[in-house]
Amino acid sequence: MRISELSLATGVPVATIKFYMRECLLPAGDPVTSTLADYGHAHVQRLRLVRALIDVGGLSVAATAEVVRALDKQGVAMHDVLGAAHHALSRPVPRETNLTGNELAEARHTVDTLIAARGWAVNPSAPARQRLARAIATLRRLDLAADPDTLGHYADAADGLAAYEVATVPEAPREAAALHVVLGTVLYEPVLTALRLLAHEAASARRFAALGKD
């Protein structure tokens, strides 16, 4: 199909498609003449992936390019494609936190202990370790519970979901499995956080609404 048809099929403007090709998010089409190229179903699929990562995952163009690169690289294990998705999903580190090195080191120790206690095989440089440590240090600074017992409730919920999610990844073909892993990692996160807010509101109604204006 022509680029205008690709645009119609995906709802992505032609100018945006050209921008994605320049940024290596999308391969070029097969040249037909010096000014015309042909695009296929793979382009439609890739465009949908890119839009999902940017729109729903909230990834930057650079982070999306990183995930796409890992996907396209031959010989990269599925487990490493997942790593690229995780890295991309990690929000930028806040500009200033006021947390001391000591507070962060203690929280990091809590994270490492939790991971070891659960027997989780996790890369020592996984960005989620640092993100969790930062959240824990902030909770403690504000006198909110971040002891192993409290964290265990969240880890149990995460463990159950992750086991379910990874079990649903298709066996083959590799491209489909990788796509599923990347998309699932990014796209089920808002499902989980939105449902938590809805369940939270319902639980709050059960406990507080009867009290009216206190």
Contacts (CB under 8 A) with a copy of itself, residues 66-105:
75-79, 82-83, 86, 89-91, 94, 96-98
User: Of 52, 61, 104, 106, which lies in the binding site for a copy of itself, with binding defined by CB under 8 A?
Assistant: 52
Using CB under 8 A, which of the segments 18-26, 34-42, 59-67, 174-182 binds a copy of itself?
174-182
| CB-CB contact of 90 with 60 (8 Å) | no
Q: Which residues between 132 and 151 bind a copy of itself (CB under 8 A)?
A: 132, 134-136, 138-139, 141-142, 144-146, 151
User: Of 147, 157, 170, 175, which lies in the binding site for a copy of itself, with binding defined by CB under 8 A?
Assistant: 157
Query: In the bound complex, what is the minimum distance in angstroms from residue 149's beta carbon to a copy of itself?
Result: 11
d(CA 19, CA 13): 10
Strands (E), the chain: 30-31, 37-38
Shortest CA distance to 151 belongs to which of 140, 161, 136?
Answer: 136
Given the complex with a copy of itself, which of 38 and 80 has the nearer CB atom? 80
d(CA 30, CA 17): 15
Strand partners, 30: 38
Given the complex with a copy of itself, which of 32 and 199 has the nearer CB atom? 199
| CB-CB contact of 162 with 184 (8 Å) | no
Given the complex with a copy of itself, which of 67 and 132 has the nearer CB atom? 132
d(CA 84, CA 91): 13
Given the complex with a copy of itself, which of 5 and 201 has the nearer CB atom? 201
d(CA 89, CA 118): 23
Given the complex with a copy of itself, which of 22 and 206 has the nearer CB atom? 206
Query: In the bound complex, what is the minimum distance in angstroms from residue 45's beta carbon to a copy of itself?
Result: 9
Query: In the bound complex, what is the minimum distance in angstroms from residue 158's beta carbon to a copy of itself?
Result: 4
| CB-CB contact of 65 with 24 (8 Å) | yes
Q: Which residues between 7 and 46 bind a copy of itself (CB under 8 A)?
A: 10-12
Two tokens at 33? 């003449």
